[in-house]
Structure 1
Amino acid sequence: MSYSSAIRAVFATGVAVLALAPDAGMAQQAVDDKAEAGGNEIIVTAQRRAELLERVPVAIVALTSNTLEKAGVQRMDDLGQVATGVQINRGGSFTQPAIRGISTLTLGYGFENNVAVYVDGFYQPDMVTINGDLANLASVQVLKGPQGTLYGRNATGGAIVMETMTPSKVFTANGQISYGRFDDRRAQAYVSGPLNDQISFGVGAYYRSSDGYIRDIGADPLSSADDTDAAPLKNVSIRAKVLWEATDDLKVTFGYNHGFVEDARGIVYRIDKFASPALPMPPARADRRDTASLSIPADSSAKADEVTGKIVLETGIGTLSSYTGFAKRHSKSVFDFDGSKPFISQSKSTNIRQRTFQQTLDYSINAIQGLDLILGAFYYNDKLNVNDARTYSGGVEESNRLRSQYDLLTSKSYAFYLDATYLIADKLFLTGGVRYSHEKRRIAYFELPGIVTAIVAPADKSATFSSATPRAVLRYELGARTNIYASFSTGFRSGVFNPTAVPSPALVIPIKPEKLKAYELGFKTASSIFRFDTAAYYYDFRNLQVGVSVPSPITPGSVVQLISNAKKAEVYGIEGQVAVTPLESLNMRAGASWTHARYKDFKNATGTGLNSATGLNATGQVQDWSGKQMARAPGFTANLGADYSIDFAGGRLSMAANGSYTSSFVVSNPSLYGPLAGSALANRQRYRQKAYALVNAQINWTDPSDHFTFGIYGENVTNTRYAMTLSGGVFGDYSQGNQPATYGARAGFKF
């Protein structure tokens, strides 16, 4: 029996066990999980209603702001250190999450992740601005597995749901400043309180600036006199909310969010292997870790402004919620792809504008005995303009401009969904749901000549995609806070166009949508001091969208993103996490995940091979990736954390540490060495990262008044180094490492 057949058999057995679970008597009403949480209880909104974590038949990592702080989680990049089976990676400028081996390898403006990110109920399509630091957060929920029914578009891998602080009816204020290695300066503050009996407000602000750890070696690589910071970091965010409690049944929240992110680490390319003979030899070219040699400064920055409105109305039979949001974003991308001082290949896109409108309506009905029902609708309209994307050869002066490209990418979609949980017998619940999604995508582009006068013909194409994504779940309540469940769920990611000019408009062909069927068996239990959950899963993936960077067929020396569909992929695994509070002052948590993720049928992949005869890369090579490990899908990951506090010097001393382990995995490019590399290497994947472990730690002391806190922290205290970017192209293999060990001090207050 094959692995997939065995897993399906296990799933079927689980369903049968649940269906035959002993009937304890008369059916009872579903427990109202909207009561205020207390003790060790955690309330989540994974099913678009407030429920106890252990009663939700979905694998979830639920993190409070307190847990995030004690685990040393500062950025979205850090979530993988505390969430089992989760990787937060980078593709160039773009943040790309992976859950259980499901991630996107399509990168560029106009693409979206297949792990959906929501902030305060609003979908975040931009992969650049979500890279900001985590500030002013109340909680983070990582929902594993396809969330196609309730969260819809682009949630084949799962969803990351973030909630920021809600305005308070009493005055509160807190803030913190810190200073760390690489001139890392951070400051944040939050103020909330009432304006009158009905209106309250909350305002949070965050600022961070750092020189970064990557050094441009300058014109003279043997001297540090003209060295500069190659990838400085800056992050600014402002979040404001006004809550109007018009009546006991009507609440209206207005929000404004501003964010700015500058982080070029992912596009500071360092050619360190198989370099093209067109490049200078080291030391004229940077080839050591944490160095760069750029002909133009790298710039990956984005700012976003978003206004939101949320209306919640209690109707007597349920809760009607409306989410209305509009956002505009402006991004820049400037990079030197050859990673050397000579002006060989540069790209500048400094005017990328995006406008997004979204509207969601949810009606959660709980007036029917034994039934929880959700009806919903979603509308989304996104327009992205790439104005004057330039490529250069021999310098960035206008006289060296090869050509300019102008793009328009639009996406209009709507969806309707229904999800119901019914108490079919004592302690036995059946959930069924379905979502219908319809999406229309359009691409239009034209080019203007520079040095190159032969430009491609303009194109204007559109395509429509639609899908129904059902789910079904059986859950049996073994005890008050102990449940077992078996689920079937589906996910859908819309088709997309390659946003790159091609020689003929006839070649502008949409990429097929990706679809996922998922089977899962799970167990959850919790008490006042203990929490444990585990899940086994099997995914059947069709038409996975995979993108790689290849030489441009139009502009020699530049690269483009080429996307194709992996016909079949398969993922299965098992995971578990546990949290224990043996003492009031001691919290411990641990988790582990084993994942087997493979492309099953991908014979026409485009990869970067190696020509062993010349010692150079063979780009654009047709390869067979069938049976190979999917990108960002390490076989084993684990995390371990603890925090402990004691009375000290009249105040309270708190100590916390968190460690994580990741086995070897493909970072972002699953390419093989290929047939030109010789039989011993031909079928091996090239761009693999070795296993590594990370440790964060901190010590804080709070004064007797409980108003002021002082502390020190260390991130990556073991100075573990791994490749944040690892791939290859026409100029050679390139990489850039993660941040080395950092440390600093902080001071904070709260009232």
Structure 2
Amino acid sequence: MKKLGWALPAICLLAVPAAAQTTDGTSTGDSAAADDGADDIIVTAQRRAERLTDVPISITALNGDALEAAGIRTSEDLSSAVPGLNFATNGAFAQPTVRGIGTTVSSAGSDANVAIYVDGVYQPSQIGNFSDLVDLEQIEVLKGPQGTLFGRNATGGAIRITTRAPSFTPTATLSASYGRFDDVRLTAYGSTGITDTLAVSMAFLYSDDEGYTRNIATGNRVSDLNALSLRGKLLFEPSDSVKLTLSGGHAERRSGAAFALGVLNSNSTSVNLPGSVKAGGPREVSLTFDPVINVNSDQASLTGEFDLGFATLSSISSYQKTKTYLVTDTDRTNLAIGRADLPGTQETYAQELNLVSNGSDSFKWFLGVFYYNDDAIGATIVNQGPIFNATRLKTEAVAPFGEVNIGLGNLTLIGGLRYNYERKDYEITRGALAIERNKTFKNLTPRLGLRYALTPSSNIYATWSRGFKSGLFDGILASGALVVNAVEPEKVSAFEAGYKYGRGRTSFSIAGFHYDYSNIQFQAFNPNAGGLTQVFNAAAAEIYGGEIEVSTELFPDFNVRASAAYTHSRYKNFPTATIFCPRGAPTYGNATIPLGALNPCTGEINSDGATGNELIRTPEFTASLAADYRVELARGDAVELSGSAYYSGRFFWDPGNRLKEGAYVLLNSEIAYVFPGDQFRLSLWGRNLANELYALYQPESAAGDSVAYARPRSFGVSAKLSF
């Protein structure tokens, strides 16, 4: 809590704009729903403001109030509210999986294949994409390949995070929370008009907790989280046809939960060595030092919107720089055997232009172009010695794209196309060995669809699309020589059909899908690659399933949201998967089972690797239920009740389907008293109330199996002041 001393004055400063006066009292932060005359959810998934019901894409859209009521505070928590999404952790790397499509690749410059956007700006850093959610307007999770609409590396889908726009009407919100494990969270948001054409907003977050896992070797608590972020926006509206928004932000995040790794089932080559002290339970680890995941990021963007009459031209220019430093105990014991330090820097420039038609409902179109320039540097330092491995990956990409919607009465025909061009320059140095390689990747991603309006409030749709995740490079040490492999792009062919209904506060959707997923990029430990991991094109897979979502106001001030998802996923062809079997006493660790060899763990010949197995991190069944209710009292005060439940079926962390995560249920709840005037709110909250024990991360290697557990039951109090 060292930064708390200046955090409190910063919060006070953010409250000042609420006292300022505007000249017109208008707010540019209002969504298109304000003109709709109903409470329909408005999304921008097709580059224009449309009712969620009218968009032929499977989307989960949640506003800030719904996220708060469900107890969702970080990006990782989104799994419990979005069917088909597993916001997975690969150590320090955010690797969300949607409908079975995710990644395991974590080398410098590699991208997740579920693209994340904040205010329209693509977020390339996997480490930087664990974020604390503050000043949110809405989150949209788009499922299925979004290459035509949102471009690079969206084979699984896209997560669009929209923060609140500056308002000409003075407004401010302050909140403070304290919970178990000395969990302190402070947030503030303030906005006001400066002139009749200029408005400003600022958002602030400070979060600190002492951790829920004890490192018995150091005596310290780990699995902690310390975060600080500040974002400012300046809105300039010189006329009704021009809007410019300048945004800037800084964030710092220090966490250790995903690296607080203990030995799983005593399976480790080190845990039984002389001097090793074993941890006593799931909330204990025995590590030589406390692990660290440090992230510092700075972002700036300029967004312009220009109404040209026949169309609206928008421009997004952005710059991001993310610095990371990771420290992990690779032997998972108190013995000073293995330590890895992983510094990295990623610097990104991007420019996007979109031209979206106005007016006609019978013929809609948009055209766009996206330019991307990224420079990612990473290194591995073993046991605090000299740099063992250094890599650099430069990416330059250009992608023109467009789509048309042709209305024929109640029927709408949809056609879109994106051309992807990417050049990648790769450098790797290991000791005296160094190699440079480059390669260009090109691809067309089409989208075709039909939408039929059954009524003004309901429709059926069917779409077919292709997804593309760019290729990359991987350097390994094989037989004493440094070898660089070109890893080919992933491809997805996706079909989806569904039904949507939406009117007022009620929405209902059901969708079915089928994917052919090929050239899957996979990262796994390779005993022949210098003891490190190797990235390779692993497999093909078939995925199909369905989802259902419903949201309604059962009666005044009582809202219910429910969802369920079924996902059937299988590797159709994965003979190169690394298949491990625990050796057991006295050596422990895992033996690699070659193709054609007997696997003593199953008693069968390893004839086809992971072929026929389930995809990693993909529960077959998930379901969620959330409700909130407000009871008005006699004096103008109120009581608010909210709760949510999330069920995850069992899934596997490895392609060999050996490391299984059992089914679990997460329960969150909150009760609040709202003072007269609705300006001040006090609440009691609880998360993971059933105290479920489940993993954040379970890696395997020849040295054994490890596990880092998620946060146990926590509870606390919070206060919120709005004016």
Please report how far the alpha carbon of residue 57 of structure 1 lies from its aligned counterpart in structure 2 after TM superposition.
Answer: 0.1
The aligned counterpart of 1:515 is 491
Q: Determine if the alignment matches structure 1 residue 618 to structure 2 residue 591.
A: yes
Structure 2 distance, partners of 1:148, 1:179, is 42
Aligned residues: 678
Percent sequence identity over matched residues? 33
How big is the alpha-carbon RMSD for the aligned residues of Structure 1 and Structure 2? 1.9
Q: Determine if the alignment matches structure 1 residue 722 to structure 2 residue 708.
A: no
Please report how far the alpha carbon of residue 80 of structure 1 lies from its aligned counterpart in structure 2 after TM superposition.
Answer: 1.1
Structure 2 distance, partners of 1:551, 1:705, is 65
Structure 1 distance, partners of 2:406, 2:237, is 32
Corresponding letter in the other structure for 2:718: R
Q: Is the 8 A contact 2:270 2:331 kept in 1?
A: no
Q: Determine if the alignment matches structure 1 residue 183 to structure 2 residue 182.
A: yes
The aligned counterpart of 2:510 is 534
Range with greater deviation from structure 2 (630-639 or 543-552):
543-552
Q: Determine if the alignment matches structure 1 residue 93 to structure 2 residue 84.
A: no
Q: Determine if the alignment matches structure 1 residue 480 to structure 2 residue 460.
A: no
Match of 2:691, SS state, is coil
Q: Determine if the alignment matches structure 1 residue 430 to structure 2 residue 413.
A: yes
Task: Deviation per CA, 1:546-595: give whole Å up to 9, x if none.
Answer: 112344733xxxx5221222331100001101112021210011110111
Q: Is the 8 A contact 2:262 2:707 kept in 1?
A: yes
1:664-743 matches, cutoff 5 A: 664-667=650-653, 669-671=654-656, 685-743=657-715
Please report how far the alpha carbon of residue 646 of structure 1 lies from its aligned counterpart in structure 2 after TM superposition.
Answer: 0.5
Q: Is the 8 A contact 2:696 2:708 kept in 1?
A: yes
Corresponding letter in the other structure for 2:466: T
Q: Is the 8 A contact 2:270 2:276 kept in 1?
A: no
Structure 2 distance, partners of 1:291, 1:202, is 43
The aligned counterpart of 2:603 is none
Structure 2 distance, partners of 1:348, 1:615, is 26
Structure 2 distance, partners of 1:502, 1:329, is 32
Corresponding letter in the other structure for 1:122: V
Counterpart among 239, 243, 250 of residue 247 in structure 1: 239
The aligned counterpart of 1:131 is 130
Q: Determine if the alignment matches structure 1 residue 213 to structure 2 residue 212.
A: yes
Match of 1:553, SS state, is coil
Match of 1:77, SS state, is helix
Unpaired runs of at least 5, structure 1: 1-31, 219-225, 449-454, 672-684
TM-score by structure 1 length?
A: 0.87
Range with greater deviation from structure 2 (260-269 or 297-306):
260-269
Structure 2 distance, partners of 1:585, 1:33, is 23
Task: Deviation per CA, 1:379-432: give whole Å up to 9, x if none.
Answer: 000001225x3112xxx4xxxx27533221111111000101011x21100010
Please report how far the alpha carbon of residue 261 of structure 1 lies from its aligned counterpart in structure 2 after TM superposition.
Answer: 1.4
Q: Is the 8 A contact 1:443 1:499 kept in 2?
A: no
Please report how far the alpha carbon of residue 509 of structure 1 lies from its aligned counterpart in structure 2 after TM superposition.
Answer: 1.5
Q: Is the 8 A contact 2:633 2:639 kept in 1?
A: yes
Please report how far the alpha carbon of residue 367 of structure 1 lies from its aligned counterpart in structure 2 after TM superposition.
Answer: 4.8
Corresponding letter in the other structure for 2:286: S
Corresponding letter in the other structure for 1:247: S
Q: Is the 8 A contact 1:551 1:620 kept in 2?
A: no
The aligned counterpart of 1:296 is 289
Match of 2:631, SS state, is strand
Counterpart among 410, 419, 432 of residue 394 in structure 2: 410
Q: Determine if the alignment matches structure 1 residue 608 to structure 2 residue 580.
A: yes
Return closer, same or farther for 1:194/1:700 CA change in 2, 3 Å cut-off. Answer: same
Q: Determine if the alignment matches structure 1 residue 652 to structure 2 residue 638.
A: yes
Return closer, same or farther for 1:110/1:287 CA change in 2, 3 Å cut-off. Answer: farther
Q: Determine if the alignment matches structure 1 residue 372 to structure 2 residue 364.
A: yes
Return closer, same or farther for 1:552/1:67 CA change in 2, 3 Å cut-off. Answer: farther
Structure 2 distance, partners of 1:340, 1:551, is 21
Please report how far the alpha carbon of residue 209 of structure 1 lies from its aligned counterpart in structure 2 after TM superposition.
Answer: 0.5
Corresponding letter in the other structure for 2:257: R
Task: Deviation per CA, 1:209-261: give whole Å up to 9, x if none.
Answer: 0111011102xxxxxxx610223211111111000002211111000011111
Corresponding letter in the other structure for 1:415: A
Please report how far the alpha carbon of residue 606 of structure 1 lies from its aligned counterpart in structure 2 after TM superposition.
Answer: 2.2
Structure 1 distance, partners of 2:634, 2:652, is 49
Return closer, same or farther for 1:666/1:231 CA change in 2, 3 Å cut-off. Answer: same
Please report how far the alpha carbon of residue 649 of structure 1 lies from its aligned counterpart in structure 2 after TM superposition.
Answer: 6.8
Structure 1 distance, partners of 2:294, 2:579, is 29
Structure 2 distance, partners of 1:258, 1:412, is 25
Structure 1 distance, partners of 2:123, 2:435, is 28
Structure 2 distance, partners of 1:178, 1:720, is 23
The aligned counterpart of 2:73 is 74
Q: Is the 8 A contact 1:285 1:339 kept in 2?
A: no
Counterpart among 525, 542, 552 of residue 549 in structure 1: 525
The aligned counterpart of 1:258 is 250
Please report how far the alpha carbon of residue 95 of structure 1 lies from its aligned counterpart in structure 2 after TM superposition.
Answer: 1.3
Q: Determine if the alignment matches structure 1 residue 458 to structure 2 residue 458.
A: no
Return closer, same or farther for 1:572/1:369 CA change in 2, 3 Å cut-off. Answer: closer
Range with greater deviation from structure 2 (226-235 or 575-584):
226-235
Structure 2 distance, partners of 1:348, 1:319, is 48
Q: Is the 8 A contact 1:443 1:497 kept in 2?
A: yes
Structure 2 distance, partners of 1:142, 1:277, is 42
Please report how far the alpha carbon of residue 290 of structure 1 lies from its aligned counterpart in structure 2 after TM superposition.
Answer: 1.5
Corresponding letter in the other structure for 1:285: K
1:99-498 matches, cutoff 5 A: 99-218=98-217, 227-272=219-264, 273-276=266-269, 279-280=272-273, 284-286=277-279, 288-350=281-343, 352-367=344-359, 370-386=362-378, 389-392=380-383, 396=384, 401=385, 404-423=388-407, 425-448=408-431, 455=432, 457-498=433-474
Unpaired runs of at least 5, structure 2: 1-30, 596-605
Corresponding letter in the other structure for 1:640: L
Return closer, same or farther for 1:403/1:706 CA change in 2, 3 Å cut-off. Answer: closer
